[in-house]
């Protein structure tokens, strides 16, 4: 590894050009919405760039009119909605989530002469993707007592009158929920309780402090909160009890402030606990620093800018439910590990759907977006099953992962989950490790949970003379993580071989498949692999975001085909697969896919809609340039994305060879050191790089698709995809490496002109990716001239060698996509010549082995040089 720091210029050599990105002066808020706000007034003006801050303007140029039209229209609509809301009586403020103007917080004050008088109530409003066709979703983020509001703030609305506008539900909340008393019975009970507490707590301060007046258990009995929901309710209540500390409540904190002890008076003249409960809920101040009080519509340029610099660009995806909600199905050692070792308090919204479903014990295919917490959702049932059966030295669960990185990561998480469960032993068999030591460990006793990569598992099956086979015959749980990849052409033969050893139809075996994308190619294999009474669960975050009613499901009937949870999209596997096949057939017959000849696996037919699969916290853009400036555009994008504090950037390349070449190019020509990760690197190197990228900030990782799926690198700020992705699924999984957890992320796909049809493929799946115009700076122009004139550009032997190998892999990659590209191999070869001479800066087109040319079926095509 080079000793140079990433992104540091090499000043020792005056001939070397610095690549350090220009950073704006300290203290200047590059991404603040005040910039966006200024710009937003001109968002439909092609010259709007002038109103960007000088820093923003130096990095990005405005979108073309046609690109921003749609966004502008939507933004304007939301903008006018916000200004309407702001002018309504009793609306104190309207705050827009930074970087995501679809999410707003409206603060309403309670009406006089009601128990809510003087209180301030935050209402979360989310303009869904179908807005303005459907009402925006609303939830009370401030705790109140009302018969139409659930303990977690879910509001029961009656059918609301048209026209659809954000004002309608807000007016309803203001006038009906906050404007009238809750049911007299509830008021009576609350006031009775208040009086009783007033006697017990004699000081006036106690009288006015709801935390002292009410214990969670007392309040929960008043509100009739069920025992199973009590834990969550307590957590919701906790910030009031500890109101001097900052505590998160669903992304908000309840702050103590001088006014928190001021009393308000209800109709009956008594001190109202109802209003005081909620008065001081505000946005987390660290997140709200730059949240403007007024709405500022954002065009994608601003969105890019603010995403690059924002701390958080989307509301949290956590539910209000702790893992304790499933204490009837998960053992205490596991629950303790989740809480104490992993530090997870609440389930994600998707885990709320996945965990009850998988704990049911049936075969299941689970689809859930990237970064939503699938790993523990399959690990927990593996652990629970294994600890229930307590079979010493026997494999209870087998987890198959497509890559070594993912297998290691899963093993790491599994080990954390079993810290209080000493009976359970985790082990991992994967390529790149010493197989003999794996065998030796098994001789001492088999692990309870075995995590494997497919190739290594086959090696073991071949050499251990039936002992592992015997283990598999008694397996209780089988997990195929990233199942669509494992069941696709590359891995399928290995998986088919492995599952021949497993009694797939045994009632004692639960098979779980987890993935973020369900391409049609999966349908048939899934149907034939899972038992017919299995399920398909589409854990779509939006389905439960505002509901969470699946928690009404009783123990042991958490999910079944007769009484499916109302808001969870779960259905028998056979139905799901049939339906998917029908969708595929109807789309084809409607000619929806006729624009381009497609390969046999038509990606447009999926069970779940692709467009919902990219997490909402990921802002997506594409950048287009001609083939010869691709490398410089990449450098430009790196400068942009590394300009923020604590950057972590992943750049995906199509092949291992391309990754290796661009690592050397960046280092030798542009003086940028990056981390290198692909299948041609040794396992220790991969482990080292993976650890470094996981734990350190200000890093750039160049990688092939070995990092595309499942790998959980925390806080990746930007993901760049260089060139045409393999397919839409691959694009989605790569995007998912950023925007994980609570962090927002930015995804940029860099396409040269002949690859722009990929945008159509995305659009067919409902994924609209706006264009971002990025100009090359003077520095890059200089380099272009040098490259074109082949002057002074240092080319080490290593760089030349890597360039030649990349050239060959480039032809191979594009030749395997001729159908999608709609061009012939001859055209690919012609483009490869431009690529070799103009992108790679080679003096001549490299010669390739005859056998390689034959394999790619390009031998004999003019332009291909064969090695003598
Ligand atoms: N309930 C939770 N609370 C906090 N963090 C969580 C929770 N569940 C999972 N995480 C964390 O969220 C991150 C993403 O989880 P995980 O890798 O399991 O996602 P995934 O759905 O498998 O993503 P991918 O499809 O990309 O593989 C991890 O860092 C994990 O530790």
Q: Model confidence over 427-477: pLDDT tens digits?
A: 999 988 889 999 989 888 899 999 999 999 999 998 877 888 899 999 999
Asked if pLDDT for residue 558 goes beyond 90, the answer is no
Is residue 697 predicted with pLDDT exceeding 80? yes
pLDDT for res 658? 94
498 Cβ inside 6 Å of ligand 1: no
Q: Is the CB of 375 under 6 A from ligand 1?
A: yes
Q: Whose CA is nearest to atom 30 of ligand 1?
A: 373
Return the best residue to mutate from 371, 414, 416, 539 for the ligand 1 pocket (most ligand atoms within 8 A of CB). Answer: 371
Q: H/E element holding 248?
A: strand 248-249
What does the buried/exposed string (b/e) look like for 284-312 if buried means 16 or more CB atoms within 10 Å of the residue's CB?
A: beebbebbbeebbbbbbbbbbbbbbbbbb
Mean pLDDT of 791-819: 83
**Is ipTM > 0.95 here?**
yes
Q: Would you list the DSSP string of 189-209? A: HHHHHHHHHHHHS-SHHHHH-
> For all residues of the chain together, what is the average pLDDT?
68
Q: How far is the CA of 94 from the centre of ligand 1 (A)?
A: 32
Neighbours of 774 (CB within 10 A): 22
Q: Give the atom of ligand 1 at the shortest distance from the alpha carbon of 342.
A: 31
The answer to whether residue 659 scores a pLDDT higher than 70 is yes
**DSSP assignment of 613-644, as one string?**
TS-TTEEEEEEEE-GGGHHHHHHHHHHHHTSS
148's CB contacts (< 8 A; 6+ apart) are 155, 156, 176, 177
- Output 79 or 183, whichever has higher pLDDT: 79
Higher pLDDT, 716 or 521: 716
The CA-based angle 15-20-22, given to 5 degrees, is 120
- The residue contributing the CA closest to ligand 1 atom 16 is 373
Tokens for 161, please give them.
Answer: 């009158």
pLDDT > 80? residue 221: no
Question: Would you say the CB of residue 110 lies under 6 angstroms from ligand 1?
Answer: no
Instruction: List the residue whose alpha carbon is closest to atom 29 of ligand 1.
Output: 712
pLDDT at 828: 92
CA 498 / ligand 1 centre spacing (Å): 27
Structure tokens at 720: 């760049």
pLDDT band at 726 (very low <50, low <70, confident <90, very high): very high
Cβ-proximal residues to 769 (8 Å cutoff; 6+ apart), any chain: 620, 621, 622, 749, 759, 762
pLDDT confidence bin for 777, thresholds 50/70/90: low
Q: At residue 167, does pLDDT exceed 90? A: no
What is the spatial distance between Cα 230 and Cα 210, in angstroms, rounded to a whole number? 18
Gap between the Cα atoms of 611 and 242, Å rounded: 41
769 vs 41 pLDDT, higher one: 769
Tell me the backbone φ, ψ of residue 612, rounded to 5 degrees: -85, 0
Q: How far is the CA of 71 from the centre of ligand 1 (A)?
A: 31
pLDDT value, residue 582 = 57
Q: CA–CA separation, 303 vs 36, rounded Å? A: 8
**Cα angle 195-200-205, degrees, rounded to a multiple of 5:** 80
pLDDT confidence band for 569 (50 / 70 / 90)? low
Looking up tokens 């797939």 gives 504
Residue 79 has pLDDT above 90, yes or no: no
Concatenating the DSSP letter of every residue in 216-228 gives HHHHHHHHT--HH
Answer whether 484 contacts ligand 1 (Cβ < 6 A).
no
Answer yes or no: is the C-beta of 516 below 6 A from any ligand 1 atom.
yes
Task: Determine the pLDDT at residue 145.
Answer: 62
* Ligand 1 atom closest to the CA of 346, numbered from 1: 1
* DSSP-derived pairing of the beta strands 477-481 and 449-452: unpaired
pLDDT band at 69 (very low <50, low <70, confident <90, very high): low
Is the pLDDT confidence value at 629 over 50? yes
Helix (DSSP H) and strand (DSSP E) numbers for the chain: 34, 25
The best mutation among 538, 712, 716 to test binding of ligand 1, ranked by most ligand atoms within 8 Å of the C-beta, falls on 712
Cα(158) to centroid(ligand 1), Å = 36
Give dist(CA 817, CA 603) in Å, integer: 14
Does residue 740's CB lie within 6 angstroms of at least one atom of ligand 1? Answer: yes
Nearest to 293 by CA among 89, 106, 17, 47: 106
Residue 388, token pair as written in the block = 């229930």
Which atom of ligand 1 is least distant from the CA of 406? Answer: 27
CA of 375 to the centre of ligand 1 (A): 6
Any idea which of 59-73, 181-195, 802-816 has the lowest mean pLDDT? 181-195
pLDDT for residue 235: 46
Q: What is the pLDDT of residue 593?
A: 33
* Strand order across the beta sheet in which 91-96 lies: 91-96, 103-109, 120-126, 137-140
Angstrom distance (rounded) from CA 126 to CA 128: 6
Of 252-256, 354-358, 705-709, 775-779, minimum mean pLDDT range: 252-256
State the pLDDT at residue 617. Answer: 58
- Region of poorest pLDDT, from 89-98, 202-211, 317-326: 202-211
Evaluate if residue 203 carries a pLDDT over 60.
Answer: no
Ligand 1 atom closest to the CA of 737, numbered from 1: 26
Alpha helices in 314-421 (DSSP H): 332-336, 349-359, 374-389, 404-417
Residue 582, Cα to own-chain centre: how many angstroms?
Answer: 29
Q: What is the mean pLDDT of residues 634-660?
A: 87
pLDDT of residue 779: 61
pLDDT at 632 over 50: yes
Question: Where residue 559 falls among pLDDT bands split at 50, 70, 90?
Answer: very low
Closest C-alpha residue for ligand 1 atom 1: 347
Pocket test for ligand 1, best of 345, 373, 481, 737 (most atoms within 8 A of CB): 373
- For residue 120, the surrounding DSSP H or E stretch is strand 120-126
Q: Is the pLDDT at 273 greater than 50, yes or no?
A: no
Ligand 1 contacts CB of residue 347 (under 6 A): yes
Bridge partners, 94 (sequence order) = 106
Compute the distance from residue 383 Cα to the ligand 1 centre, in Å.
Answer: 17
Q: Which atom of ligand 1 is nearest to the CA of 413?
A: 31
User: Are 321 and 343 within 8 A, CB to CB?
Assistant: no
Question: What local confidence, expressed as pLDDT, does residue 450 receive?
Answer: 96
Residue 813 clears pLDDT 60, i.e. is over it: yes
Q: What is the dihedral of CA 811, 813, 818, 822, to 10 degrees?
A: -100
State the virtual CA torsion across 355, 361, 365, 367 in degrees, nearest 10: 0
Mean pLDDT is lowest, of 41-55, 202-216, 726-740, for 202-216
Q: Please determine, for residue 114, whether its predicted confidence score (pLDDT) is greater than 70.
A: no
The residue among 28 and 146 whose pLDDT is bigger is 146
Residue 307, pLDDT score: 37
- pLDDT confidence band for 248 (50 / 70 / 90): very low
Closest approach atom of ligand 1 to CA 377: 18
pLDDT at 270: 26
pLDDT band for position 573 (cuts 50, 70, 90): low
pTM above 0.95, yes or no: no
State the angle between helix axes of 65-86 and 300-309 in degrees (0 to 180), rounded to the nearest 10: 70
**Can you give the pLDDT at residue 531?**
87
């Amino acid at each position: 590894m080079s000793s140079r720091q990433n992104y540091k210029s090499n000043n020792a050599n005056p001939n070397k050009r610095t690549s350090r990105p220009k950073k704006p002066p300290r203290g200047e808020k590059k991404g603040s919405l005040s910039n966006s706000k200024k710009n937003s007034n001109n968002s439909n003006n092609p010259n709007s760039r002038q109103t960007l801050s000088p820093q923003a303007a130096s990095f990005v140029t405005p979108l073309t009119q046609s690109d921003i039209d749609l966004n502008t229209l939507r933004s304007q609509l939301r903008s006018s909605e916000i200004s309407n809301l702001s002018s309504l009586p009793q609306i104190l403020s309207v705050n827009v989530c930074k970087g995501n103007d679809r999410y707003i917080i409206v603060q309403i004050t309670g009406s006089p002469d009601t128990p809510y008088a003087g209180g301030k109530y935050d209402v979360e409003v989310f303009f869904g993707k179908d807005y303005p066709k459907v009402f925006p979703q609303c939830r009370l983020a401030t705790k109140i007592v009302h018969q139409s509001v659930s303990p977690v703030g879910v509001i029961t609305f009656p059918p609301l009158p048209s026209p659809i506008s954000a004002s309608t539900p807000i007016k309803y909340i203001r006038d009906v929920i906050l404007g009238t008393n809750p049911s007299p019975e509830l008021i009576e009970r609350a006031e009775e309780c208040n009086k009783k507490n007033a006697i017990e707590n004699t000081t006036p301060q106690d009288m006015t402090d709801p935390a002292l007046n009410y214990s969670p258990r007392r309040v929960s009995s008043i509100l009739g909160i069920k025992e199973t929901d009590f834990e969550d309710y307590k957590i919701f209540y906790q910030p009031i009890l500890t109101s001097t500390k900052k505590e998160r409540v669903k992304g908000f904190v309840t702050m103590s402030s001088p006014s928190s002890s001021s009393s308000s008076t209800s109709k009956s003249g008594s001190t109202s606990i109802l209003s005081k409960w909620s008065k001081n809920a505000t946005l987390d101040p660290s997140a709200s620093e730059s949240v403007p009080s007024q709405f500022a519509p954002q065009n994608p340029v601003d969105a890019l800018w603010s995403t690059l610099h924002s701390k958080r660009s989307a509301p949290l995806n956590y539910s209000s439910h702790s893992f304790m909600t499933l204490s009837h199905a998960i053992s205490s050692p596991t629950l303790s590990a989740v809480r104490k070792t992993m530090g997870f308090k609440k389930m994600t919204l998707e885990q709320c759907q996945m965990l009850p479903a998988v704990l049911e014990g049936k075969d299941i295919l689970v689809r859930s977006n990237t970064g939503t917490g699938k790993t523990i959702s399959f690990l927990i049932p593996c652990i629970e099953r294994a600890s229930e059966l307590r079979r010493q030295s026997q494999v209870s669960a087998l987890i198959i992962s497509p890559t070594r990185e993912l297998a290691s990561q899963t093993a790491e998480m599994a080990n954390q989950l079993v810290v209080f469960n000493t009976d359970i032993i985790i082990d991992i068999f994967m390529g790149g490790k010493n197989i003999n030591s794996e065998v030796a460990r098994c001789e001492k006793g088999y692990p309870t949970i075995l995590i494997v990569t497919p190739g290594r598992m086959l090696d073991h099956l071949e050499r251990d003379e039936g002992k592992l086979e015997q283990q598999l015959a008694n397996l209780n749980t089988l997990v195929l993580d990233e199942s669509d990849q494992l069941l696709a052409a590359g891995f399928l033969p290995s998986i088919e071989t492995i599952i021949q050893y497993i009694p797939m139809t045994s009632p004692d075996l639960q098979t779980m498949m987890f993935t973020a994308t369900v391409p049609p190619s999966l349908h048939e294999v899934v149907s034939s692999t899972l038992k017919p009474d299995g399920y398909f669960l589409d854990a779509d975050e939006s389905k439960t975001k505002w509901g969470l009613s699946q928690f009404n499901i009783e123990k042991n009937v958490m999910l079944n085909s007769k009484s499916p949870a109302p808001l969870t999209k779960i259905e028998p596997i056979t139905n799901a697969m049939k339906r998917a096949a029908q969708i595929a057939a109807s789309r084809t017959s409607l000619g929806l896919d006729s624009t381009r000849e497609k390969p046999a696996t038509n990606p447009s037919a999926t069970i779940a809609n692709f467009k919902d699969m990219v997490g909402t916290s990921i802002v997506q853009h594409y950048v287009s340039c001609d083939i010869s400036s691709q490398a410089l555009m990449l450098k430009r994008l790196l400068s942009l994305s590394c300009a923020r504090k604590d950057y972590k950037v992943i750049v995906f390349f199509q092949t291992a060879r391309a990754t290796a070449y661009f690592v050397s190019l960046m280092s030798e020509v542009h003086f940028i050191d990056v981390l290198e990760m692909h299948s041609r690197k040794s396992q220790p190197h991969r482990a080292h790089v993976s650890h470094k990228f996981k734990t350190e900030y200000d890093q750039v990782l160049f990688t092939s698709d070995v990092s595309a799926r499942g790998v959980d690198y925390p806080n990746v700020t930007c993901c760049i995809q260089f060139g045409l992705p393999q397919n839409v699924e691959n694009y989605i999984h790569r995007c998912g490496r950023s925007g994980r957890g609570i962090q927002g992320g930015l995804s940029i796909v860099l396409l040269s002109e002949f690859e722009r049809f990929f945008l159509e493929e995305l659009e067919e799946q409902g994924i609209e990716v706006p264009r971002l115009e990025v100009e090359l700076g003077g520095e890059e122009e200089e380099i272009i001239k040098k490259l074109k004139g082949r002057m002074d550009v240092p080319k080490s032997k290593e760089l030349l060698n890597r360039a030649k190998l990349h050239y060959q892999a480039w032809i191979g990659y594009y030749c395997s996509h001729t159908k999608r590209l709609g061009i012939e191999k001859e055209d690919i070869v012609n483009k490869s010549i431009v690529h070799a001479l103009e992108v790679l800066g080679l003096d001549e087109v490299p010669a390739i082995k005859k056998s390689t040319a034959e394999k790619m079926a390009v031998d004999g095509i003019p332009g291909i040089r064969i090695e003598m």
